[in-house]
Homo-oligomer: A and B are copies of this chain.
Amino acid sequence: MPEVKRIEDVPALDVSDGKEIVGVRKRLLIGPKDGAPTFAVRLFSVAPGGHTPAHAHPYEHGVLVLRGQGEVLTPQGPKPIGPGTVVFVKPSEFHGFRNPGPEPLEFVCIVPVHVES
């Protein structure tokens, strides 16, 4: 039967390391434990002043911003993002997400399921 849950019932894990990752909480909305065969769906919340790692890796990201204002780092510099922004990061592309604003930045980030396995 289709699984139905609510975002607030999914634990939010603090994934910050104080260096490359600052002020970041992650909820694994859909992943291996749900029996997902192809992709995993995560929800990230980046606190004001926080950021995800500025890096590249061999898998892609599909991102949809839900709340807040921020920027995505690209090889050509930062680009503004906000509610309704879609970002597609292809495998091996440099990227990072920053929240220089006063409110939490929330976005969905989809990856191949092996990333969460």
Contacts and interface: CB of A to CB of B under 8 A. Distances in A.
A5 interface: yes
A55 B112 CA distance: 25
Interface in A74-114: 74-76, 79, 81, 84-91, 93, 95, 108, 110, 112
SS class, residues of chain A in contact with chain B = strand
Query: How many protomers of this protein does the assembly include?
Result: 2
Interface in A30-70: 30, 34-39, 41, 59-60, 62, 64, 66
A29 interface: yes
Contacts of A72: 2, 4
Contacts of A91: 37
B2 A74 contact: yes
A88 B28 CA distance: 12
A108 B64 contact: yes
B86 A35 contact: no
A69 to B, nearest CB: 13
